[in-house]
Amino acid sequence: MLEKKPVLFMLLATAAILVGTIITMAMPFLWVNTDADRIETVTPYTPIQQEGRDIYIREGCNNCHTQTVRPLVAEVLRYGDYSKSGEFVYDRPFLWGSRRTGPDLARLGGKYPDAWHYKHMESPRSMVPQTNMPDYPWLNDTALDPESIRNKMETLGFPYTEEQIKELNGKTEMDAMVAYLQKLGSDIPWRKVAETTIVGDLTNPFPGDASAIAAGKDVYSSNCAACHGDNLEGMIGPALTDMGMEDADLYQVIHSGIPDGGMPGFSNLGSTKLWQLVNFINAEK
């Protein structure tokens, strides 16, 4: 019957297509981005952050980087607290991505100091020698256009001040990119919540052990040298050659980081690697 009536056929096909569409695509609008998943501390992007986000989109960063942390043990350990719906309410479009050629960036904000990002965006391999991330030095060469950014803020309906627009003068696309990266995932106080304290005494398990020192050197090269220099001479972070810290105190700093000083914590390296590192650094002084 249907095989002879194309109009009726097309109406039925449309109906078949619309059932799943309405239930799984349209109905979630009743819950998502409503009071049900609102998070009070989440704020819209400022003009410079929004411009950074638009540059992130223009350069196709989402082709290699995701922006959503799943509630899985290894993933929360590696990147930070898992992502919540209410954190994305100002994201047009969403930038969750589909492939992690590079690491997830949902919790990047506040992990590194600005100087780390400037250097890394200009020349990723100067900090991570084996990375395949392209260089983006030309972002330094283009000045921001305050009026076009004002227009974007108006389109999005995000609040902004004249002061914020004026501050854009003289800023580059690189400044905007770094401002955006530092905002990512930092609207909820997850770092504070995730802070861990070490209980019990810290005793160096391999004091003066040459093989531990050698292993520590490798850990240093791949995790620390980008900021503290190949020979501990200091760059983005301070020199480590003459620290004079007790093993236990040094362990504590590396484990938990210095949140206000821009030093990330390295607890997920595990205690063995951390102690090797401590022995290496303290053997170099």
Interacting residues with other proteins between 124 and 183 (CB under 8 A)? 124-125, 128, 130-138, 148, 151-152, 155-156
Count residues near other proteins (CB under 8 A): 89
- Of 211 and 222, which CB lies nearer to other proteins in the complex structure? 222
Which distant-in-sequence residues (6+ apart) come within 8 Å of 248 by Cβ?
201, 202, 203, 204
Tell me which residues in 43-62 interact with other proteins (CB under 8 A). 54, 57-62
Q: Which of 49, 83, 182, 279 binds other proteins (CB under 8 A)?
A: 83
60-79 binders of other proteins (CB under 8 A): 60-64, 66, 68, 70-75, 77-78
Question: Among residue numbers 4 through 23, which ones bind other proteins (CB under 8 A)?
Answer: 4, 6-7, 9-10, 13-14, 16-21, 23
Nearer to other proteins, 241 or 256 (CB): 256
Site residues for other proteins, window 85-124 (CB under 8 A)? 85, 87-104, 124
Contact at 8 Å (CB) between 55 and 90?
no
Q: Distance between CA 280 and CA 225 in Å, rounded? A: 13
Question: Which CB, 95 or 178, lies closer to other proteins?
Answer: 95
State the Rg of the chain over Cα.
24
CA atoms within 13 A on the CB side of 7: 0
Using the minimum distance from each CB to other proteins, give the nearer residue, 74 or 193: 74
| Residue 198 in contact with other proteins, rule: CB under 8 A | no
The backbone torsions φ and ψ at residue 41, rounded to the nearest 5 degrees and listed phi first, read: -80, -5
Nearer to other proteins, 145 or 246 (CB): 145
Least Å distance, CB 213 to other proteins, is: 20
Site for other proteins in 215-274 (CB under 8 A): 222-223, 267-273
Smallest distance, Å, CB 238 to other proteins?
Answer: 22
Give the containing element (helix H, strand E) for 221. Answer: helix 210-223
DSSP state of 258: B
Angle at the Cα of 112 from the Cα atoms of 107 and 114, rounded to 5 degrees: 115
Which is closer to other proteins, CB of 194 or CB of 269? Answer: 269
The CA distance from 127 to 138, in Å, is 18
DSSP H or E stretch at residue 74: helix 73-79
Shortest CB 29 distance to other proteins, Å: 6
Geometric angle at alpha carbon 170, from 166 and 171, rounded to 5°: 90
Min dist CB 242 to other proteins, Å, is 27
Cα–Cα dist 199/249, whole Å? 13
Contact 178, 121 (CB under 8 A): yes
| Smallest gap from residue 244 Cβ to other proteins (A) | 27
Closer CB to other proteins, 65 or 191, in the complex: 65
Return the exposure string of 79-105: e unless at least 16 CB atoms fall within 10 Å of the residue's CB, then b.
Answer: bbbebbebbbbbeeeebebeeeebebb
**Using CB under 8 A, which of 28, 159, 205, 261 touches other proteins?**
28
Nearer Cβ to other proteins, position 23 or 143?
23
